[in-house]
Structure formats: structure tokens, C-alpha cells
Amino acid sequence: MTETTTPSTDDHTVDRVLAGAEKRSDVHVFGAAQALQDESTASHGSTDGAQWDLEDRHALRRVGGLSTELEDVTEVEYRQLRLENVVLVGVYPQGAQEDAENSLRELAALAETAGAVVLDGVLQRRPHPDAATYLGRGKAQELKDIVAAVGADTVIADTELAPSQRRALEDVVKVKVIDRTTVILDIFSQHAKSREGKAQVELAQLEYLLPRLRGWGDSMSRQAGGQVGAGGAGMGSRGPGETKIELDRRRIRTKMALLRRQIRDFGPAREAKRAERKRNAIPSVAIAGYTNAGKSSLLNALTSAGVLVENALFATLDATVRRSETEDGRVYTLTDTVGFVRDLPHQLVEAFRSTLEEVGEADVVLHVVDGSHPDPAGQLQTVRDVLGDVGARDLPEIVVFNKADLIDEDERLVLRGLQPQAHFVSSRSGEGIAELRAAIEDALPKPAVEVHAVIPYDRGDLVAAIHESGMLLAVDHREEGTAVHARVSERLAAELAPFATPE
């Protein structure tokens, strides 16, 4: 048997999103766009390490033509999601076409990351989505023709569909219909590695599934009262009690309660680690930003951490903490966090709230923006909205436009207008990394207490502690010991008190 694999990102997903259908009234088929970075400019530098995790992720390839799935679309809820050939569809109001196209391009990248081949994309202009079929009955019929023409087996809507909308649209187009939230949840389930990450994703999936459970018709036992019986079948037709769908809902709620307890149980370990850093007065810098903006690449460039880097959305989910030092020897930590995306499902925000606490507890937020993205202002606003939800809106923020090697001077001027104090860096070429390190050092909180002390030579541990967690302003080696002028934490100042001297 000859193995065939799906096209890789070398084929550039968005180039495959064609405007093949003829123009229709009120229907716009979007053309080429930049959903993912070109592979020739996304190569991994030496700071990214060996990337063994990336090799493992790419070791499994899908073999086409082996599907044995049933054609009956009523069975899609209880099948594992396996995206194959898809058509994207969105609705936008008057004057919002550009935002809708950017959103649909992003959905194309999400679908590619989840393992799909995007064949076509359709946008319809209408004031509000249709309450019944999202598109309206006539446009849904046109979508059915497009799906049949390109040979797609899945339709992805660029929104979170109501259960009734999804069922009605499936009845018209006769293929599986899913929404943006489903795709994002599927990507998270593929990329979660830690126990906590897997529990968070499973909780989000169950929260999404609970209101969308569907029955299986007459095969289920039904409750009934009086003499009408179940389905009007009369006496003797009452089932044994609880319906199958009620049992499923009860099991899901029980599982969700268990997952919430598990996630809470992970909290003390995180708190202990944060408390240790606070006890030693180690400042923390959280790297936050839009997905695929280059957060992990920037962490690797700043610390040579070797964190997994991939030209895909939500490549890394679990928070990664790495140690770094300032020029004067002060230690601080850099934390790589989960990326954000527009219309991030609220289930994920709630489930990953414990992970996002790392941002809220940080001393400085390093806000990474993809400078080559067609809508950097939208990225900035999306991330700041989520940061506000986790209590990080008032933290010191350093805005970084990454991928500076992909933007020209005119684009830089536009970005300067958005954020005049922003830094332009390139994780790939190293441009601006040294200046960014200096900016991070300046933004770190200064130790609170200024001390003058003469430390005996047999207490070199105190001098080392000053170097590690304080700011050494002046030092002089005298006969009786090391004279230091420094700014330190209150805890270290108390240890230095016996050796304090007048200024």
C-alpha cells in the first residue's frame, strides 16, 4: 500500500484557499492571504535548540483514502473529530469586510493546524446571521453546491454556532458542520502535554459539549407520565426512568466536577513555586501575545531555552519558565504563556485561568505582536482584553513587534503610530534582541531597601545574595570586610542589619 500524506505547510494553506466559485450576489469568496508565515522565513535558528518535540509531533502523518465513516450526518456528535477537506464560511455586516476576511484567513490557519486541507472560503454580507441556518436557506443551498463542487466533507463556520443552527445547516449541506470553537478545542487537545494542560482542555471540551448533546430518537428510553405513554404510544410504553441523554449529561457534570478539583489541586504546586521566587525577590516577566506571534521563538532568543517552535497556531500551551540574568547579575524569570486568538472560546479562558495567573502575578508583561500580520491593531486589542480579564491590565507592559525582518520601513512607520514606544525585534535574525534585553532590565522592579554595610569575608553568601537578587551600586574591599552600597529586598536587608554602617 502506498502511503500518501496531507500537504504540509510548505504548500501554504492560504494559497489553496481559492476564489474558484463564480461571484454571486451578496457572496464574497476570499482570495490569497497570509495566514501562516512563509516556511522559508520561519526556519529555526540556533537558539531554538534541537527541537526534538517538534520531530515527535511531525512523526505521525495521516494516510488519505482510508475513511470508513458513515455518511449519516446525525452521527457526527459521537465521532472523533477528524478534519479533512473543508470549506470555510462566514457572515459579516456592512462595512466589516476587511475584518471578516482577516478572521477567515485566521480560520484557514486554524484548520490547517488541526490537520485539514482548506479548499474554499465563502463570506456573505448580511446584517445579522440567520437564526435558523446561520446563512439563510437560499445561501445555505448555494453552500451545498460549492461543497459538492470542490468535494469537501466538512464545513467550518467562522463563529460559535448554536446547536440548532448547526443541525439545520447540516440538514441542508449534507456534510459535517462544525464551528470555530470546535476547531480551537481540537487543536488544544492535540497539543496539550502536561497533566494540567490535558485536564484544562478536557474541561473546556465538556463545557462546550454539554448543551450540544443530541438524542438518538426512538432507540432511547423516554420518561412519560399519565396514560399517554412515551411518544403517544399509550399504556405500557413508559421506559424504565431516566433518559439516555439525561444520563450522559449527569456523567459529564460529574466528570467536570472531578476535573475542576484536579485543576484546583495543581494550584498549591504553582503557588509554592511562585512563593519561592517571591521569597528570594526574583522578578518575573511574562511573555504574552497572539498565537503564532513568535513568543516561544523570542524566549529561545533571550534565554536559549530550546522551547518547541512551530509555524502553527497554538503550538505550545503549557507555561514554560526560564531563568535569565541582567548585565549586573540580577536574576529574573521569563515565562512563556499560551497564545490568544480573536473570539477565543470563553470555555478555554475559564479552563486556562490557572495558567493565565502566571501573567497576572508577573512584574512585567512582554506583549509580543506579529509585525507582519495584516491586522496588528486587532492583535493588540485582543490580547489586552484577555489580560484585563486576568487582572494584568495595570502591569508594566513592553510591546514588541516581532518578525521585523519581514516588514519594510513604511510598515514600521504605521506600527510606530500604533505603539510609539514599541521595540522591533526578529527572533530569526537577532535584530533588536540586545535592545530588548536592556528594556526588560530597566522595567524590572528595583529592590526596595537601600543599605550600606561592611560584610565580613567569611559571609560571602550575603555578597552572593546581593549579586543575585539585589542591585549592587558600589563595592570596596577593606581590611575588615567587603563594603557594599546596594538596594536589596526587605528580607535580605534584615540579614545585613548586623553589618550595617552609616553612609
SS (H, E, C) 181-220: HHHHHHHHHHHCCCHHHHHHHHHHHHHHHHHHCCCCHHHC
- pLDDT score for 334: 86
Comparing CA positions, the residue from 492, 503, 502 lying closest to residue 459 is: 492
DSSP 86: E
- pLDDT score for 88: 92
Q: Which residue has the higher pLDDT, 308 or 200?
A: 200
Side-chain-side CA neighbours of 287 within 13 Å: the count stands at 32
Comparing CA positions, the residue from 82, 80, 102 lying closest to residue 92 is: 102
Q: What angle do CA 490, 493, 497 make, to 5 degrees?
A: 140
> Is residue 255 pLDDT above 90, yes or no?
yes
- pLDDT score for 254: 93
How far apart, in Å, are the Cα atoms of 34 and each of 103, 107, 288?
11, 12, 22
- pLDDT score for 18: 37
Which grid coordinates are listed for 393? 491590565
Q: What whole-number distance in Å separates Cα of residue 146 and Cα of residue 166?
A: 18
Q: What whole-number distance in Å separates Cα of residue 222 and Cα of residue 10?
A: 52
Structure confidence by residue, pLDDT tens digits, 423-473:
999 888 888 888 998 898 888 887 778 888 888 888 888 888 888 777 788
Q: Which residue has the cell 496588528?
A: 376
Which DSSP helix (H) or strand (E) runs through 124? strand 117-125
How far apart, in Å, are the Cα atoms of 316 and each of 54, 194, 312?
10, 11, 9
> Is residue 392 pLDDT above 70, yes or no?
yes
Structure confidence by residue, pLDDT tens digits, 31-69:
433 456 665 555 556 666 656 566 665 555 555 554 545
Over residues 314-324, mean pLDDT: 74
Q: How would residue 497 be classed by pLDDT, with cut points 50, 70 and 90?
A: confident
Comparing CA positions, the residue from 195, 367, 175 lying closest to residue 290 is: 367
- Sign of the dihedral defined by the CA atoms of residues 198, 313, 269, 252, in that order: negative
- pLDDT score for 401: 92
- pLDDT score for 45: 61
Q: What whole-number distance in Å separates Cα of residue 93 and Cα of residue 99?
A: 10
Q: What whole-number distance in Å separates Cα of residue 433 and Cα of residue 425?
A: 6
Q: What is the DSSP string of 282-338?
A: --EEEEEEBTTSSHHHHHHHHH-------SSTT---S-EEEEEE-TTS-EEEEEE--
- pLDDT score for 424: 92
- pLDDT score for 28: 45
Comparing CA positions, the residue from 465, 500, 459 lying closest to residue 281 is: 465
Query: How much is the pTM?
Result: 0.67
> Is residue 155 pLDDT above 90, yes or no?
yes
Q: How would residue 253 be classed by pLDDT, with cut points 50, 70 and 90?
A: very high
> Is residue 313 pLDDT above 80, yes or no?
no
Q: What percent of the chain has pLDDT over 70?
A: 71
Q: Fill in the amino acid letter for 129.
A: P
User: Is 287 in contact with 336 (CB distance < 8 Å)?
Assistant: yes
- pLDDT score for 399: 92
> Is residue 9 pLDDT above 70, yes or no?
no
- pLDDT score for 75: 47
Q: What percent of the chain has pLDDT over 90?
A: 7
Q: What is the DSSP string of 23-53?
A: PBTTEE-------S--GGG----GGG---HH
Rg (CA), the chain: 28
Q: Which residue has the higher pLDDT, 437 or 316?
A: 437
User: Is 153 in contact with 83 (CB distance < 8 Å)?
Assistant: no
Q: Which residue has the higher pLDDT, 350 or 181?
A: 181
- pLDDT score for 475: 87
> Is residue 258 pLDDT above 90, yes or no?
yes
Q: Which residue has the higher pLDDT, 355 or 297?
A: 297
Mean pLDDT of the chain: 76
- pLDDT score for 4: 40
Which DSSP helix (H) or strand (E) runs through 475? strand 471-477
> Is residue 489 pLDDT above 90, yes or no?
no
